[in-house]
A and B are shown apart, each in its own frame.
Chain A
């Protein structure tokens, strides 16, 4: 087996929560509000059980061949060459996602905090720790995520509780004049966008301890992560209203600027941003890990450690090249990115499961006659 390290089930669940929170913590409210209008918070809450169902689907797909990772599962179900083509498609998804998340961090830093720093420097500083984490292996990623996850939950809690004085309940009134396009977009974004991007968890699932309640724990953590995002959307709609939620790209940063308790407890937005940076860092790391491991699995290499350095350089270069500016990413790419997420994390896994069922039925019949 390529990876010798073993993850505990708690580390796996924490990594799932971190991937779901990831860069969604900043951009999710604006995306879902842009596509689905006033009822965005309702769709976000509807997405919680749907997201748990999606995570059940992922675990089901991984359980067809428990000792193989995603690439191996493709090859086992589809055969060698079709599996390889599909694996290449998924590897492209992993590397572009990793680069895009680093790029969102760079855009955020250069547009909100370090206004005069070139984005290449910010990206270099962000990418080097990713390479360091990969170099130290999967177990260390899991353990450091265990240390850092309380920071994120604490800051989410602080954000929600200290914004309660600013809440205006009349901004939550649902409209009934929702169009069909808004409805479908809302439902789909509500569970595909946070939980669907937890797909690379399938690449590390074979290297976690096999326990009886693994499926239940993963579903609960997916629901928890998605619930955090739904609460964030709701508090954003409550405080800023629909228009501002749609038009601020980094919503929770602006939200935490609004915290002001008695002119004393204020200006904590950079702490909020740091918690977001931590979760995005883990998301980007796991995506790049999935890419490196996938390359090693695709070419049947003996180890994956020597591939890390060039892959880190590729992520650095791609995160510079992936969009020429922030506007291109947010206006042009996001609709296509949603469809890509939908294909990769819902349609193709369902098709694979159906093919697997048919194949096992056929071989069962053949064995009987």
Chain B
């Protein structure tokens, strides 16, 4: 719980550092991209520091390249 709170506080601090400048200049696209990145990072950060079970993102790569790998193994006969 303490770790979760710590990550959320760190994320809020990042927002406090960067967002007011963008807000003053009224750069809405920048604010959207920034908040999307910040929310993803806080979510993943909370999952990471608590050591929750989470499937590795590299399974995307394995899913993409598994057919290629099997085809190559079939061609080379190994």
Contacts and interface: CB of A to CB of B under 8 A. Distances in A.
A307 B34 contact: yes
Given A323-B58, A336-B65, A302 B14 contact: no
Interface in B7-39: 10-11, 14, 17-18, 21-22, 27, 29-30, 33-34, 37-38
B66 to A, nearest CB: 8
Nearest to A92: B60
Given A299-B29, A301-B29, A306-B22, A323 B10 contact: no
Interface residues of A, number: 35
Interface of A is mostly: helix
A317 B48 contact: yes
B42 to A, nearest CB: 7
B34 A340 contact: no
B69 to A, nearest CB: 6
A292 to B, nearest CB: 10
Nearest to B72: A339
Interface in B37-76: 37-38, 40-42, 44-45, 47-49, 54, 56-58, 60-62, 65-66, 68-69, 76
A307 B45 CA distance: 16
A354 interface: no
A232 to B, nearest CB: 26
A301 B33 contact: yes
Contact of A317 (B34, B41, B62): B41
Interface of A: 92, 96, 120, 179-181, 184, 295, 299-302, 306-307, 309-311, 313-314, 316-318, 320-324, 328, 332-333, 335-337, 339-340
Interface of B: 10-11, 14, 17-18, 21-22, 27, 29-30, 33-34, 37-38, 40-42, 44-45, 47-49, 54, 56-58, 60-62, 65-66, 68-69, 76-78
